[in-house]
Amino acid sequence: MMKERLDKFLSSQTALSRKEAQKAIKEKRVLLNGTVARAADTKVDTESDTVSLDGQPLTYQQYVYYMMDKPEGVVSATKDREERTALDLLPPELRRDGLFPAGRLDKDTTGLLLITDDGDLAHRMLSPKKHVKKRYIATLDREPDDSIASAFEAGIVLGDGTVCKSGQAEALGDRRVAAVISEGKYHQVKRMFAALGYHVEALRRVQIGGLALDEGLKPGEVRVLTAEEAQRVFD
């Protein structure tokens, strides 16, 4: 059995802030077990109590997981004073307190971005010990030569002397290369190709572990994942 304050419950399960949740309670818009809730500090049993807001029942979810096809020009951050963030693209009905991008993509990089409020999953996914693989499609400034696969497999030395772990690279034609890495160094994929004499003109992440981007999504669109789907990042 898990109990938490009513205003906290509302802010975690809806797009309302704590203050907005408290206001909704004062305005008698919230029902607890079929009766009007009176106080923000009322304890809610998340397993057995029923809560509704404006007549709509709320189903308790401890954590949520969203797959986004991040578009170019959007930053992977929770807030930014100047730039549009991935969280800004979420439709109102999917917003709730505590959401953050689990692993970042550069502003000009597109593709798979996992948004969640599950800190434990994000920590494990980003931990170097887990060796979670990420697959990218890079468009280069010219066709790659035949040595690119062996260079990735051997472990590329970056311009600053950093040695990358063994990865994979496969030429796809039309100047595109599928690159798989298990690290998350700053601008790593771009720097790896730069160390080999290539410039990355476009970069798209298409897979994290066993979780592949839904190519049916349009740039900026989101799909809700089940907890089981989110766990595929560890496959």
Number of folded domains in the chain? 3
148 and 198 within one domain: yes
Position of tokens 């009905």?
93
Q: Which domain holds residue 11?
A: 3-58
Q: How many Å apart are CA 231 and CA 235, to the nearest integer?
A: 8
123 and 137 within one domain: no
Mean pLDDT by 10 residues, the chain (235 residues): 88 88 96 95 92 92 94 94 95 90 94 96 92 97 96 96 96 98 94 98 98 97 94 95
Instruction: Name the residues annotated as catalytic.
Output: 106
201 and 143 within one domain: yes
pTM as predicted: 0.84
195 and 163 within one domain: yes
179 and 165 within one domain: yes
pLDDT given for residue 2 in this prediction: 79
199 and 148 within one domain: yes
44 and 73 within one domain: no
227 and 160 within one domain: no
Residue 160 to residues 33, 171, 185, Cα–Cα distance (Å): 61, 26, 12
pLDDT given for residue 203 in this prediction: 98
Please state, as a whole number, how many other Cβ atoms lie within 10 Å of the Cβ of residue 102.
24
